[in-house]
Chains A and B, each alone.
Chain A
């Protein structure tokens, strides 16, 4: 039931926020803040209540919806979902915070979209009925489209349409795959079912399994994103308002990774096993190629967007290595990158808010003007390049350590991403904060240091990364049972298939 409340709070909150604008334009942001804080509180209660318990599922609800087609309203959260829910709620608060002063135009509709996107994400992380999953998949897409298209920057319509097309086309492929799966359940068991556990038992067999799996794979790697489906991301990020970027980089991308872990591999263990070298190759290419492209960018948001693709490569690599360390690494990377990338986008946003440019060629020597911002930027850049002691290192190190056991060549190639990451991260710091003060093309009186409110949420994110880096066990323990279950399940299937 708690899961329904979690999602419901955001749906209802969104509607109230929209309506409340008529009373006072400052109400929507307050209502949104209350809604996300309430969710965060509920999440903490849910997770702390289940800490230490061995049960795989922390909470679930299964209600009939369309029994004729085997569709039910089935939500459940295990440790893996739990961590991602926590991340979503946390970044939800941050996103509302970062929109606080930025969004003046039609705030009611903005916060409605923000909360509905978040609700969609929570649904995606918990839905165990594939029809319901697809429903939430769409729910998070459309409000995001509006956020980019209405509150975006100079080229917003192009970016929003690109985002929509990429996600929608790949989503259609997934829908087809879901329908095929349900149909095969009908052939093999005589009834339709969209239930995750039922579908785990379905085997389409042969070449078809690969095609059906690819439907999921393409949808998820478009979201993740991975080469060659990544090119919507730089446009979406550079055009989205800051809060949109926070949600995009922090949580929306993670739904792709979650989908791979929860659905793409367990539903098609054999095809995934055969496909793993391809997926890991794509991952390695993503890591290196996008790191290189990132380095070439002068638009700071595009740069961060490309680094996101690069870091997500480690996630794909870890997932398709499919062993305990690699999976844990993938999950830790998702969490840590969620914080670090969101923070970097917020920094870019706060710079843009102040000096109205994202072009790094116009910047330089900002350190003495904005020492707090510079220190914060340095922290998150260092985190992004994988400094031990911070969360990103734990994730990437474990992912590589695990991946090495399954594919040495691709892991070694991917490891070069660590070098590239240091090249672009330090370049950003150099370009913006070091050197002589440059104030071309902007009014430098606008360049003020971070406000107290900004420091609070950057501080919270920094603490989060230090926690993940110094005592990752909190998070590793939380997802251990869930990942262990997934590992064991797919191994059983692979062995049983092989034996047959």
Chain B
């Protein structure tokens, strides 16, 4: 059965092909069955493969399907590599992916592009599986670019609005900056180590490079460039909030559960390179910390329900990067998995809210819908608790691991830990701000008649609720992958634990006082000019968009505009003008007078003779 691992992406790919080739002529029901069914089949196969693999006790399994390209010493195949890490990713992608596909059959029901939507979704799942199962970096890169393409297609799914198109292109181009960095990393790895097979590379790097060597630093920096692009971390994070222009199931699948965590996967997969470059690894931790704090602040100022969740995703991936940076590889992947559950839950539930309120996304125009939208309410409650790491929800266990690992790091560990705890406080604050504003208080004029969606929309929410609550008890088979860096006993005082539990609760408490009981008033707080400008600054995502516009976009557009007619062409045009002028001059010599010709012949003769004599 393990040999059939190639079936995983194949099912989705076939789904994609059949939906594309029929070009929307299929009845909606059939398209839904193909779209969601293909991923469901993949999940079933993934479960069987997982059981067999874990039962076999092997550390890894390789299956080569065919040779992709073999040029000189370069040899890359369509080969799949299964170990604890890719197994985890594979189950998350197909499992949560299937739930989201199922939900989407309801969510997209009245959309004219129904079949196109599922075609893109299927292609995405296929590419994502390639990404995590590929045994060489080129195959990984195939998946990497493939998910980027699908992200582009789905963000711009409602293409009549040019803003969606802009968001889609922004997402693609910004991540492509990272992708290019990663591609250069691949070239460097191949030039130095002569292979692009991941396991061979890791082995070769470990044996040939010393810790802290320049090559290791260069390569890990380049790969990190790819990771921050895909995972929306500083400095390439600006695309994610705009990516919310896509349909909400996309935000759940691509921009929360799977694709944006690909950067985390990439770093974890190549963790040996980062261990060889401790400075870069520490950089990963700081990037994670700064991103998680910046995104936390920004989430606090947003009013669009999806943008709040997007910044929250950015912030949670910041935690994963923090974990990677302090060498807590397993904790990072663990948080990736729990986050996939609760963030998918939150996004899908927000989808139901948005749809029930007739496409309203501004939380301040919602309010008091707790009774009318019971499934969304419970989804949000459980998802929010897990997100804020409320004790014994899934998020609690994974975030706990990360913060403790940060604390144990010598040197800046304490700072990283404190930053992480501060972030947890803000998580509690912004999450429950959203929760209280949407579900409590007065309705601001958007009376839902009833909660939309049949069983296909509510069942995925129930399953995800269970996952968000209980996924923390799952033990991931990652010890073999990260060489025993897995579960570690943390010996810390009760005070530390107390602070870590209290920080998000404090955040929730403050959110309660401001947004539920209204003991304090936000308006009063916002009255001071400092608060206003700070709010504006955070709201804009720390002005990063404006900065990049001035640094890159405007100069590029300016250059393009002034040189539209191609300077080089002008040079040739000049030659033409010159030769025409010369032509005109020479024409004047053609006077038709014999004496004029005779004179010029004589002059020429004299000139030549003089030259001949002189030389």
Contacts from A to B (Cβ < 8 Å): 162, 227-228, 230-231, 234, 292-293, 295-297, 306, 323-325, 328, 365, 367, 371-372, 375, 382, 387-389, 393-394, 397-398, 400-401, 404-405, 411-412, 415-416, 418-419, 422-423, 426-427, 430, 433-436, 470-473, 476, 480
Bound-state Cα–Cα, A293 to B169, Å: 19
Contact call A400/B187, Cβ cutoff below 8 A: yes
Q: Is B584 an interface residue (CB 8 A)?
A: no
22 A-B interface contacts by CB (under 8 A): A162-B572, A231-B568, A296-B564, A328-B71, A365-B160, A387-B145, A388-B142, A388-B145, A397-B138, A401-B190, A404-B184, A404-B187, A404-B191, A418-B179, A419-B180, A426-B169, A430-B165, A430-B169, A434-B165, A435-B165, A472-B68, A473-B70
Which residues of chain A have C-beta atoms less than 8 A from B161's C-beta?
435
Known A231-B568, A231-B572, A324-B72; contact A292-B556, beta-carbon cutoff 8 A: yes
* B112: nearest chain-A partner, CB-CB: A368
Q: Out of B72, B176, B568, which one reaches A422, CB within 8 Å?
A: B176
Shortest C-beta distance, B182 to chain A (Å), equals 10
Bound-state Cα–Cα, A372 to B145, Å: 24
Contact call B74/A426, Cβ cutoff below 8 A: no
Which residues of chain B have C-beta atoms less than 8 A from A400's C-beta?
183, 187
- Among A227, A234, A323, A435, the most chain B Cβ lie within 10 Å of the Cβ of A435
Shortest C-beta distance, A109 to chain B (Å), equals 29
* A166: nearest chain-B partner, CB-CB: B572
Q: Is B563 an interface residue (CB 8 A)?
A: yes
Bound-state Cα–Cα, A415 to B185, Å: 11
Q: Is B495 an interface residue (CB 8 A)?
A: no
* A232: nearest chain-B partner, CB-CB: B572
Contact call A387/B560, Cβ cutoff below 8 A: no
**Residue-by-residue, is B65-90 near A (CB-CB < 8 Å gives 1, otherwise 0)?**
01111111010000000000000000
Contact call B162/A430, Cβ cutoff below 8 A: yes
Bound-state Cα–Cα, A266 to B160, Å: 53
Known A371-B23, A389-B142, A419-B173; contact A394-B69, beta-carbon cutoff 8 A: yes
Q: Out of B71, B152, B156, B568, which one reaches A325, CB within 8 Å?
A: B71
Which residues of chain B have C-beta atoms less than 8 A from A398's C-beta?
69, 71, 74
Which residues of chain B have C-beta atoms less than 8 A from A371's C-beta?
23-24
Known A404-B187, A472-B68; contact A228-B568, beta-carbon cutoff 8 A: yes
Q: Is B146 an interface residue (CB 8 A)?
A: yes
Which residues of chain B have C-beta atoms less than 8 A from A404's C-beta?
184, 187-188, 190-191
Shortest C-beta distance, A172 to chain B (Å), equals 16
Which residues of chain B have C-beta atoms less than 8 A from A323's C-beta?
72
Contact call B566/A293, Cβ cutoff below 8 A: yes
Which residues of chain A have C-beta atoms less than 8 A from B69's C-beta?
394, 398, 472-473, 476
Contact call A426/B191, Cβ cutoff below 8 A: no
Contact call A434/B146, Cβ cutoff below 8 A: no
Q: Is B284 an interface residue (CB 8 A)?
A: no
Contact call B186/A401, Cβ cutoff below 8 A: yes
**Residue-by-residue, is B551-565 near A (CB-CB < 8 Å gives 1, otherwise 0)?**
000001001110110
Q: Is B172 an interface residue (CB 8 A)?
A: yes
Q: Is B268 an interface residue (CB 8 A)?
A: no
Contact call B74/A401, Cβ cutoff below 8 A: yes
Contact call A434/B184, Cβ cutoff below 8 A: no
Q: Out of B141, B146, B183, B571, which one reaches A415, CB within 8 Å?
A: B183
Contact call B160/A434, Cβ cutoff below 8 A: yes
Q: Is B108 an interface residue (CB 8 A)?
A: no
Q: Out of A375, A419, A434, which one reaches B176, CB within 8 Å?
A: A419
Which residues of chain B have C-beta atoms less than 8 A from A388's C-beta?
138, 141-142, 145-146
Q: Out of B66, B70, B165, which one reaches A476, CB within 8 Å?
A: B70
Bound-state Cα–Cα, A240 to B418, Å: 67
Shortest C-beta distance, B172 to chain A (Å), equals 6
Bound-state Cα–Cα, A398 to B183, Å: 11
Contact call A387/B559, Cβ cutoff below 8 A: no
Which residues of chain A have C-beta atoms less than 8 A from B23's C-beta?
371-372, 375
Shortest C-beta distance, A256 to chain B (Å), equals 17
Residues of chain B at interface, number, CB under 8 A: 51
What 5 pairs across the A-B complex have the smallest Cβ distances? A388-B142, A404-B187, A296-B560, A231-B569, A324-B72
Which residues of chain B have C-beta atoms less than 8 A from A427's C-beta?
169
Q: Is B459 an interface residue (CB 8 A)?
A: no
Contact call B564/A297, Cβ cutoff below 8 A: yes
Q: Is B386 an interface residue (CB 8 A)?
A: no
Which residues of chain A have C-beta atoms less than 8 A from B556's C-beta?
292, 295
Bound-state Cα–Cα, A412 to B222, Å: 12
- Among B71, B152, B168, B169, the most chain A Cβ lie within 10 Å of the Cβ of B71
Q: Is B415 an interface residue (CB 8 A)?
A: no
Shortest C-beta distance, A218 to chain B (Å), equals 14
Which residues of chain A have C-beta atoms less than 8 A from B191's C-beta?
404-405
Which residues of chain A have C-beta atoms less than 8 A from B162's C-beta?
430, 434-436
* B168: nearest chain-A partner, CB-CB: A426
Known A295-B560, A435-B159; contact A418-B68, beta-carbon cutoff 8 A: no
Which residues of chain A have C-beta atoms less than 8 A from B566's C-beta?
231, 234, 293, 306
Q: Is B149 an interface residue (CB 8 A)?
A: yes
Contact call B183/A397, Cβ cutoff below 8 A: yes
Q: Is B177 an interface residue (CB 8 A)?
A: yes
**Residue-by-residue, is B139-153 near A (CB-CB < 8 Å gives 1, otherwise 0)?**
001100110010010
Bound-state Cα–Cα, A365 to B164, Å: 13
Which residues of chain B have C-beta atoms less than 8 A from A365's C-beta?
160
Shortest C-beta distance, A364 to chain B (Å), equals 9
Shortest C-beta distance, A303 to chain B (Å), equals 11
**Residue-by-residue, is B57-71 near A (CB-CB < 8 Å gives 1, otherwise 0)?**
000000000111111
Shortest C-beta distance, A373 to chain B (Å), equals 12
Bound-state Cα–Cα, A430 to B559, Å: 21
Shortest C-beta distance, A294 to chain B (Å), equals 9
Bound-state Cα–Cα, A292 to B69, Å: 31
Shortest C-beta distance, A78 to chain B (Å), equals 17
Bound-state Cα–Cα, A479 to B70, Å: 13
Contact call A416/B563, Cβ cutoff below 8 A: no
Which residues of chain A have C-beta atoms less than 8 A from B173's C-beta?
419, 422-423, 426
Shortest C-beta distance, A296 to chain B (Å), equals 4
Bound-state Cα–Cα, A436 to B171, Å: 21
Q: Out of A227, A411, A423, A473, which one reaches B187, CB within 8 Å?
A: A411
Contact call B72/A415, Cβ cutoff below 8 A: no
**Residue-by-residue, is B257-268 near A (CB-CB < 8 Å gives 1, otherwise 0)?**
000000000000
Which residues of chain A have C-beta atoms less than 8 A from B152's C-beta?
426
Which residues of chain A have C-beta atoms less than 8 A from B168's C-beta?
426
Contact call A418/B563, Cβ cutoff below 8 A: no
Contact call B186/A435, Cβ cutoff below 8 A: no
- Among A162, A230, A295, A426, the most chain B Cβ lie within 10 Å of the Cβ of A426
Which residues of chain A have C-beta atoms less than 8 A from B560's C-beta?
292-293, 295-296
Shortest C-beta distance, A473 to chain B (Å), equals 6
Q: Which of B543-585 contact A (CB under 8 A)?
A: 556, 559-561, 563-564, 566, 568-569, 571-572
Which residues of chain A have C-beta atoms less than 8 A from B68's C-beta?
470-473
Shortest C-beta distance, A413 to chain B (Å), equals 10
Contact call B165/A387, Cβ cutoff below 8 A: no
Contact call B180/A292, Cβ cutoff below 8 A: no
Contact call B559/A292, Cβ cutoff below 8 A: yes
Shortest C-beta distance, B246 to chain A (Å), equals 14
* A386: nearest chain-B partner, CB-CB: B145
Which residues of chain A have C-beta atoms less than 8 A from B190's C-beta?
401, 404
Contact call A293/B187, Cβ cutoff below 8 A: no
Bound-state Cα–Cα, A162 to B66, Å: 48
Bound-state Cα–Cα, A480 to B70, Å: 10
Which residues of chain B have C-beta atoms less than 8 A from A393's C-beta?
145
Contact call B172/A324, Cβ cutoff below 8 A: no
Bound-state Cα–Cα, A416 to B176, Å: 10
Bound-state Cα–Cα, A60 to B74, Å: 32
Which residues of chain B have C-beta atoms less than 8 A from A419's C-beta?
173, 176-177, 180
Which residues of chain A have C-beta atoms less than 8 A from B166's C-beta?
430
Shortest C-beta distance, B235 to chain A (Å), equals 15
Shortest C-beta distance, A374 to chain B (Å), equals 9
Bound-state Cα–Cα, A398 to B68, Å: 13
